Structure 1
Amino acid sequence: MDSIQQDSIVTDIQSAFADPQMVAKYTEGPPRFVPGYNSMLSMAAILLAERAPEDAKVLVLGAGGGLELRAFAQAQPRWNFDGVDPSAAMLDLARQTLGPLASRAQLHQGYIDDAPAGPFDGAACLLTLHFVRSEERRRIASEIRRRLKPGAPFVAAHFSIPDGDDERPIWLSRYSAYLAASGVEPDKAVAARKAVDGQLSILAPEQDELILRQAGFSGASLFYTGFTFRGWVAYA
Structure 2
Amino acid sequence: MAATQLFHDPTMVAGYAQDAPRKVPGLADLHRMAILLLAECARPNAHVLVLGAGGGLELKAFADAQPHWHLHGVDPSAAMLDIARQVLAPLPDRIDLQQGYIEDAPQTAFDGATCLLTLHFLEPAERLRVLQQLRLRLKPGAPLVVAHHSQPPGADPHRWMTFSAAFAIPTIDFPAAAASAETMVARLPLLSMAEEEALLREAGFADVALFYAGFSFRGWVAYAAGDAAVTM
Whichever residue aligns with residue 89 of structure 2, its letter is G
Give 2:26's match in structure 1, choosing from 36, 61, 69: 36
Matched, 1:74 2:35: no
Q: Give the conservation status (yes or no) of the 8 Å contact 1:163–1:203.
A: no
Distance 1:184 1:61 in 2: 33
SS at match of 2:91: helix
Distance 1:102 1:95 in 2: 12
Q: Which residue of structure 2 aligns with residue 207 of structure 1?
A: 195
Q: Which residue of structure 2 aligns with residue 59 of structure 1?
A: 49
TM-score normalised per structure 1: 0.89
Give 1:174's match in structure 2, choosing from 150, 155, 163: 163
Identity %: 52
Larger helix percent: 1
Q: Which residue of structure 2 aligns with residue 6 of structure 1?
A: none
Matched, 1:128 2:118: yes
| Alpha-carbon offset, residue 176 of structure 1 | 3.3
| Alpha-carbon offset, residue 140 of structure 1 | 0.5
Q: Which residue of structure 2 aligns with residue 230 of structure 1?
A: 218
* Residues 1:196 and 1:163: Cα distance change in structure 2 (over 3 Å): farther
* Residues 1:19 and 1:174: Cα distance change in structure 2 (over 3 Å): closer
Deviates more, 1:14-23 or 1:146-155: 14-23
Matches within 5 A, 1:1-236: 12-101=2-91, 103-162=93-152, 164=154, 167-180=156-169, 182-183=170-171, 188-236=176-224
Distance 2:78 2:171 in 1: 30
Distance 2:181 2:150 in 1: 14
Distance 2:141 2:181 in 1: 38
Distance 1:110 1:134 in 2: 20
Distance 2:206 2:50 in 1: 19
TM-score normalised per structure 2: 0.91
Distance 2:165 2:85 in 1: 31
C-alpha offsets along residues 195-217 of structure 1, whole Å, 9 cap, x if unaligned? 21100111111110000000010
Where do 5+ consecutive residues of structure 1 fail to align?
1-8
| Alpha-carbon offset, residue 162 of structure 1 | 2.4
SS at match of 2:220: strand
Where do 5+ consecutive residues of structure 2 fail to align?
225-232
Whichever residue aligns with residue 177 of structure 2, its letter is A
- The size of the alignment, in residue pairs, is 224
| Alpha-carbon offset, residue 15 of structure 1 | 3.1
Whichever residue aligns with residue 167 of structure 1, its letter is D
Whichever residue aligns with residue 194 of structure 2, its letter is E
Deviates more, 1:68-77 or 1:20-29: 20-29
Pairwise CA RMSD of aligned residues?
1.7
C-alpha offsets along residues 39-62 of structure 1, whole Å, 9 cap, x if unaligned? 111000110000011100000000
Whichever residue aligns with residue 161 of structure 2, its letter is L
